[in-house]
Amino acid sequence: MPRVNFDPDKDIPFLQDKVIFITGGTAGLGRASVRALAKHDPAHIYFAGRNAQAGQALIDEIKNTSPSVGMTFLKMDMTSLSSVKKACTGFTHDRLDILVCNAGIMDLPPAVSEDGFEIHFAVNHLAHAMIIQQVLPVLQRTTELPDSDVRVVALTSAGWRAHPKNGVDFATIRTKQEDFTMMGFNLRYGANWGELLNRQNKIANVIYAAEIGRRYPKIKAVSIHPGVVTTDLVNNLPPMRKAFVYGTSWLLGNGVVDESKGRLNQLWAAAGAKRDELVSGAYYTPVGVRGKLDEIAKSEELGRELWSWTDEVLAKMV
């Protein structure tokens, strides 16, 4: 499939009446997405993060550039499922057209979240699952509106491919996964060379998005890789680790791009692609190229297992 020639300014339609929710909107690709989508006059953009100052700065900026767009910052710490659940009560609209599960962490030191889950899995998968669960009724209601076009876009990473043999190793999620370190590099974000290393949270993003698509056929749910992008996620890595990320991306012929390019794939999936262009459950590489999934990432059985495991975890959270 050829790369889509996509210019968000020209190719995103008028988003009249639409309500959008973007996690991790205070920096990097999430903030770039808020800025780009606001130009097309949606009714309201909710965005989330911990950094309230950055949240207010973005609201002030958008109020200047696109005064008709309603803006709400939802302060949440995604290392705590109760913080996420509480913040979601700040979502008060009766429709939600576009949810972009964008927030993410990578290569943090070994830790567990407030709720006792490996920190990357907690933020990148579980916290998003909590948000999805909280807004699912409104997403579903929105599918019943005339001309509805409801989308969920999950940010994964091409690193999902380096998953453990069984895709998601449920037995390790309630640990720090300290074993998944090699030569001092922390690879819990996803890499799996042999049995040792583990990038299960990013394959979870792929599998969970596909499962949403299967369970709720009126919602288009996809996962996307943005490319290797010079955001703080990568810029703040230790030098050797950063060299590894950049080096492998260059070697694979993909290079490293800045935010103006890195934002494109998620913007295309969220609002640029025509509804019938987007295949629910698919994984896309930049821009709009259907990526190949391996048997594990395609596994409907694993999709069901991840869904019910996640449901059980979330049900215990107040």
Which stretch in 144-152, 220-228, 289-297, 307-315 sits in contact with ligand NAP by CB under 6 A? 220-228
- Region of residue 116 (left: phi > 0; alpha: psi -120 to 50; beta: else): left
| Residue whose entry in the numeric block shows the structure tokens 């020209």 | 10
Number of residues that bind ligand NAP (CB under 6 A): 30
Report helix, strand or coil for 205. Answer: helix
Beta strands 181-182 and 70-75, pairing class: unpaired
Site for ligand NAP in 104-123 (CB under 6 A): 104-106, 123
Closer residue to ligand NAP (CB): 42 or 49: 49
CB of 188 to ligand NAP, least distance (A): 12
CB of 67 to ligand NAP, least distance (A): 23
- Is 234 one of the binding residues for ligand NAP (CB under 6 A)? yes
CB of 276 to ligand NAP, least distance (A): 26
- Is 78 one of the binding residues for ligand NAP (CB under 6 A)? yes
Closer residue to ligand NAP (CB): 142 or 164: 164
Q: CA-to-CA distance for 267 and 40, rounded, in angstroms?
A: 12
**315 phi and psi angles, rounded to 5 deg:** -65, -25
- Is 228 one of the binding residues for ligand NAP (CB under 6 A)? yes
Q: State the Cα angle at 296 between 270 and 253, rounded to 5°.
A: 60
Q: Are the CB atoms for 266 and 224 separated by under 8 Å?
A: yes
Closer residue to ligand NAP (CB): 4 or 105: 105
- Is 50 one of the binding residues for ligand NAP (CB under 6 A)? yes
- Is 186 one of the binding residues for ligand NAP (CB under 6 A)? no
Among positions 4, 27, 43, 314, the unique one binding ligand NAP when judged by CB under 6 A: 27
Site for ligand NAP in 253-292 (CB under 6 A): none
| Residues ≥6 apart with Cβ < 8 Å to 218 | 140, 143, 148, 150
Q: Which two tokens mark 3?
A: 């790369």
CB of 314 to ligand NAP, least distance (A): 17
CB of 231 to ligand NAP, least distance (A): 3
- Is 33 one of the binding residues for ligand NAP (CB under 6 A)? no
Among positions 45, 74, 103, 206, the unique one binding ligand NAP when judged by CB under 6 A: 103
| Residue whose entry in the numeric block shows the structure tokens 């996509």 | 6
| Residues ≥6 apart with Cβ < 8 Å to 28 | 229, 231, 232, 233, 259
Report helix, strand or coil for 229. Answer: strand
Q: Are the CB atoms for 223 and 229 separated by under 8 Å?
A: no
How many other CB atoms are found less than 10 A from the CB of residue 144?
Answer: 10
Footprint of ligand NAP on this chain (CB under 6 A)?
24, 26-30, 49-51, 54, 76-79, 102-106, 123, 155, 157, 225-226, 228-229, 231-234
